[in-house]
Amino acid sequence: MMEDKNLLIISPHYVTFVKDQVEELARYLNEIYVTSPEPYGRNNLKDLANLPENVKVYFPKFFHLPINYFRRKLGDNFFRAALRVIKREELEFDLIHAHFTWPSGCASILLKRRFKVPVIVTAHGNDVRIPLTNYVQSFDNSFLKLRLDNVVNEADIILTHHEELRDLLLSSYPFLRSKIMFLYKGINLNRFNPFSENLQKKVSNLKKSLGIEDKFVVLFLARIDRDKDPLTFVEAAKLLRENSKIALVMVGNGRLRKKCLELKKKYGIDNLHIIGGRSDTEIWYAMADVFVALSPVENIWSTTLQEAFCMGSPPIVTDVGYSSKILKHMKDAFLIPPNNPKALVDAILKLKTNSNLRKQLSENALKWREKFDNKRIAKEITKIYQRIVLGD
């Protein structure tokens, strides 16, 4: 039913949030155009290898400075950057799917007004959490709340992958209940396959390159920013620095990466490996004996936690937000309090010495794989597209 329809996607991060989903959606649509605007000087992961023939990806640039004036202009700048691509490439599309209510969602509403096509917006986390709860003060929370109100009111569908965000949106906009939908983020199970022999060979080579062949590996894989709490991981590594049998590996980029490197050097934490951003994350999950999700706000369902579950990585998860509503302690995950390096160390040591518990957590994590299957979820998203385009 959607085979003759074209889709425009707007997302600030192509690889992290939409690449795998786009490759599945391409089976159901005529053409997919992805615009991923980025400021001059920033180069996000691009990984355009093996794109389906009917998918085109663009990275239009715009001028931006890290000051409040330009932060408030991000929605307009995303709109202008996407519009330049649309005009230059003469793109024609039947609907728009924006990822994040801000700034992509705001840009999609401006495009909706101009091109008279329906819009679906996927909320991912802080784009909803900050303006609705004020749990942190951003550059302008009241401004973001006004922008969110506008997007929620004008979008045809608001989709979220998180039960917590769904409930937050429903409680904040009860009169818009019919357009707020929940669907897990799809994960490419072929890529995140712990049973792959080829993947295990890559793991062996990776551990050898890091010099941790015989170590118990604890993995932190996330943005190196405050809302993922990498500093607790570094403090735990400091407490474990005399334990030569444990390797703590941090993968990702963000504002706090420099501080993490400084602390590693200051305290001489030789068993802490700070890697940087990687696109081959499946190898790092497969290498890990334990995966940690340390957000002091919410972990359900961060992309990295979903991927770790699909890889069967025994998880240590902070008991915040909806974590304990979805996950059972010592069954689905080892739950610990947030911002607590000592609790993290205790959990690591307990899992290191208790192989039966690690096995149980791994087996229960793998039970979530089918719920996150990208193929199934792409079909469900296509049904949503069909509903808002064709009225089915």
216 and 159 together in one domain = no
**What does the alpha-carbon distance between residue 244 and residue 61 come to, in Å, rounded to a whole number?**
46
> Is there a single domain that holds both residue 264 and residue 364?
yes
Q: Same domain, yes or no, for 227 and 105?
A: no
Is 351 found in the same domain as 338? yes
Domain interval for residue 318 = 197-371
pLDDT digits 0-9 by tens, 56-92:
999 999 999 989 999 999 999 999 999 999 999 999 9
Instruction: Express each pLDDT in 239-283 by its tens digit.
Output: 999 999 999 999 999 999 999 999 999 999 999 999 998 889 999
pLDDT recorded at residue 42: 75
CATH number at residue 177: 3.40.50.2000
* pLDDT at res. 138: 82
**What is the reported pLDDT for 45?**
59
Residue 1 is assigned to a structural domain of this protein? no
Same domain, 204 and 151: no
pLDDT of 46 above 70:
no
* pLDDT class of 189 with cuts at 50, 70, 90: very high
Local confidence band at 30 (pLDDT 50, 70, 90 cut-offs)? very high
Together in a domain, 234 and 282: yes
76 with 153, same domain: the answer is yes
Q: Which residue has the higher pLDDT, 17 or 237?
A: 237
Q: What is the residue-averaged pLDDT of the chain? A: 94
Instruction: Give the pLDDT of residue 188.
Output: 93
| The pairing of beta strand 216-221 with beta strand 246-251 | parallel
Of the candidates 344, 350, 348, 307, the residue with the CA atom closest to the CA atom of residue 231: 344
Burial class (CB in 10 A: 0-12, 13-18, 19+), 119: buried
- Whether 95 and 226 share a structural domain: no
20 and 169 share one domain = yes
What average pLDDT does range 8-27 have in this prediction?
A: 90
Rounded to an integer, the average pLDDT of 122-141 is 90
Q: How many domains does the chain have?
A: 2
Q: Are residue 64 and residue 158 in the same domain, yes or no?
A: yes
Confidence (pLDDT) at 44: 65
Lowest mean pLDDT among 102-106, 150-154, 192-196: 192-196
Q: Is the pLDDT of residue 196 over 80?
A: yes
Give SS3 for 5.
coil
Q: How confident is the model at residue 87, as a pLDDT?
A: 97
Give the pLDDT of residue 342: 98
Could you give the C-alpha distances from 298 to 30, 73, 163, in angstroms and in order? 37, 28, 11
Q: Quick check: is 295 in a domain?
A: yes
Rounded mean pLDDT, 99-121? 97
Tell me the pLDDT band of 290, cut-offs 50, 70 and 90.
very high
Q: Per-residue pLDDT averaged across 193-199, rounded?
A: 91
Q: Say whether both 43 and 77 belong to one domain.
A: yes
Distances (CA, A) of 126 to 131, 136, 195, 339, 357: 8, 10, 34, 19, 33
Q: Which amino acid is at 27?
A: R
Q: At what angle do helices 74-89 and 106-115 cross, to 10 degrees?
A: 40
pLDDT tier at 319 (50, 70, 90 boundaries)?
very high
For residue 36, what pLDDT is reported?
94
Q: Tokens 């995140």 belong to which residue?
A: 192
**Claim to verify: residue 48 and residue 149 sit in the same structural domain:** yes
| Residue 154 is assigned to a structural domain of this protein | yes
